[in-house]
Structure 1
């Protein structure tokens, strides 16, 4: 699988990290979809002339590692589960090939837009530094008592549309762990289309529709929380988890 995938993604035209900065889309609409990894190659073949692929130091398949934070009562997870329109996710993310690490805050408003704010940090902070706490308080205008809630790692391909202001992330080999409990989703691919506003004429959206894959709203954070914690409420996500397992 990886050998064929590697050959295929190297057929795309490449875009550098500096060039991709024009499509950062920090304030955006995110559309998520989930497919089985066996469908990925044919999907990429169908869009090869419509997107460029991000290349950093000769790497296209990037490695990411994230550490999520939540309150002791798992407020951020619960807000998502309970359908709260205005909600927050806080994480540290390391971009392995770039050797960069950021503290990132994603805030979703009632209109479906996601605003992402971040600052560079030296490395993962299991215990948040004062400067990180200050950034979180200033950005969220809240005073949260935060604890590490979830480790997450995955590989990512990033595409940039040649026609629209649009980025696409394709995540493979999604793994979670916390407190020596682990869960892997190696047979699914999570696709996220990031746009200024939802555009159903997007080439990848149209290609996914031809294989009967429609938007599927669930976050990697929530998937991990459901998978690793036995004492959290997840009835709203139950059908979505069943669908993910069926796709896998």
Structure 2
């Protein structure tokens, strides 16, 4: 992990590592392509259960062939590796962060995501629902609105919160942290399951930038029961879900924005992202 105190930037430079020299590029050619329309029809996964794994990408090499037999890879205009920009919103007390850290059953994260390649932008709320399910609601926004919640999108986010939890959402939101990464998406041919691989993660706030080594990836499985095909394949490789691998929570801890992050230590250590600057005063 590298922590820089430069202004916000969205173009991380990638250094060649020994892992790059030893491991071939991802075998994208093994996977059949799936388009966005079919993905949304068969595996939109707006209600799902998630598992997150922090692994070195080379550790996935033994699984590529089996994954390619069971999954297709999202392709849009010949591209299979997509850049995502995400801005997370919270209140000054970081209520969303601490709700996650404390393991509250009813909790949410609010973000705005910009799909750079597709030139799309959405305001989103992710709500933790019954039986540990994650429910995602989103509102389309103009590209130029990225990083700003307007009155209409915020109203829909608050309505979704009230609908699921039966109470008002009281937080006064402000943008807290920005991030960029590249994502590859696999879609189970049987439907109802997705697996994403995020690499090249860069976390940013007004005071600095934290860059995660490019060979460290966050794998997320999304299924109905948190024990899908991808989970079983990863388990056969002796890979297990990593506690505290929420990108939002990890980014706040890595950037020194919070002083309490003990439940995130497994993810922070695997990402080599333990904070090196003191937390901001409360």
- Provide the TM-score with structure 2 as the length reference: 0.80
* Structure 1: unaligned runs, 5 residues or longer: none
Return the match for 1:40 from 54, 60, 63.
60
Determine helix, strand or coil for the equivalent of 1:94.
strand
| Separation in 2, partners of 1:18, 1:243 | 35
Alignment of 1:1-248 (within 5 A): 1=20, 4-5=24-25, 8-21=27-40, 22-123=42-143, 124-141=145-162, 142-186=169-213, 187-200=215-228, 202=229, 204-217=230-243, 218-245=245-272
1:123-180 CA-partner distances (Å, limit 9, x unpaired) = 2443421112212221223132111111011101100111342111111111100013
Q: Number of aligned pairs?
A: 243
| Distance in 2 (alpha carbons) for counterparts of 1:26 and 1:61 | 21
- How far apart are the structure 2 equivalents of 1:196 and 1:97? 28
More strand as a share of residues: 1
Runs of 4 or more, structure 1, over 6 Å off, are: none
Q: What TM-score comes out, normalization by structure 1 length?
A: 0.91
Whether the aligned pair in 2 keeps the contact of 1:57 and 1:97 (CA below 8 Å) is no
RMSD: 2.0
Q: Deviation digits for residues 32-62 of structure 1, max 9, x if unmatched?
A: 1111122233332332111100001111011
- Segments of structure 2 that go 5 or more residues without pairing to the other structure are 1-19, 163-168, 274-282
Say if 1:160 and 1:125 are closer, same or farther in 2 by CA, change over 3 A. Answer: closer
Residues 18-41 of structure 1 deviation map (CA, whole Å, 9 limit, x = unaligned): 001121011111111111122233
| Other structure's SS at 1:213 match | coil
Aligned 8 A contact 1:66 1:94 in 2: yes
Relative to structure 2, which stretch is displaced further, 139-148 or 23-32?
A: 139-148
Q: CA deviation at 1:94?
A: 0.7
Q: Is the 8 A contact 1:137 1:144 kept in 2?
A: no
Residue 25 of structure 2: SS of its match in structure 1? helix
Q: After the TM superposition, which of the residue ranges 15-24 and 232-241 deviates more from structure 2? A: 232-241
CA distance change for structure 1 residues 126 and 96 in 2, over 3 Å: closer, same or farther? closer
Q: 1:5 to 1:72 in 2, by over 3 A?
A: same
